[in-house]
Amino acid sequence: MNTTTLAQVLTLPDQSALDSVQGTITEVYRAREKRGGGTIQDAKLKDAAGNEVKLAVWDHPDLGVLKGMEVIIQASPKGGLKVVFDNYRPPGVNTISVSKNCTFQKLAVHHAQNGTNAPEAAGTPAKGTPAPIVVNGAKVGMAINCATTFLTTVGEPFDAKRVHAMASEIIRISNALEQGDLIPA
């Protein structure tokens, strides 16, 4: 994965594809409805050097929960992260378009999951602390659906604590598989 710096983003040509970018979400604006359905939400991403780039985020949950956090934004295998030349406001500035296929991840969690070294920062787990698990909305929905289906199939009445416990275990299994931790054949 090639992480493009915000300084580079500001100099790239229009429609340049990006693998990933990182920085701190400094501003988050109210989402607005797109014609034909879906949402678009603007935000600002700032790096340690002070470079700041506007984000146009398409069809994602509200980014307000990420304000003030250092994140990495990754394109999906289908792409979806690109430079867009904004000639509206302020004129002549590169921005980043983030499609619904892209993912946002807290940088400390990204480093923990990928075994990469990150500078010690607030929110970074202490050495010896298990890596936090990244959970996105699709994975949560899948886990709750599976847990609820299983429990109702075996005839158990709905119990939120039991669904929570089983869905959590499903997510742990999913993350282990994503990390390549497979049972030997």
Domain boundaries, the chain: 6-114, 137-178
Predicted confidence (pLDDT) per residue in 113-150, tens digit: 666 655 444 344 444 444 445 566 677 888 888 988 98
Q: Residue 40: helix, strand or coil by DSSP?
A: strand
Find, among 60, 25, 63, 30, the residue nearest to 45 by Cα. Answer: 25
β-pairing, 52-58 with 32-33?
A: unpaired
pLDDT > 90? residue 21? yes
CATH class of the domain defined by 6-114: mainly beta
> What are the pLDDT digits (tens) for 48-68?
999 999 999 999 889 988 899
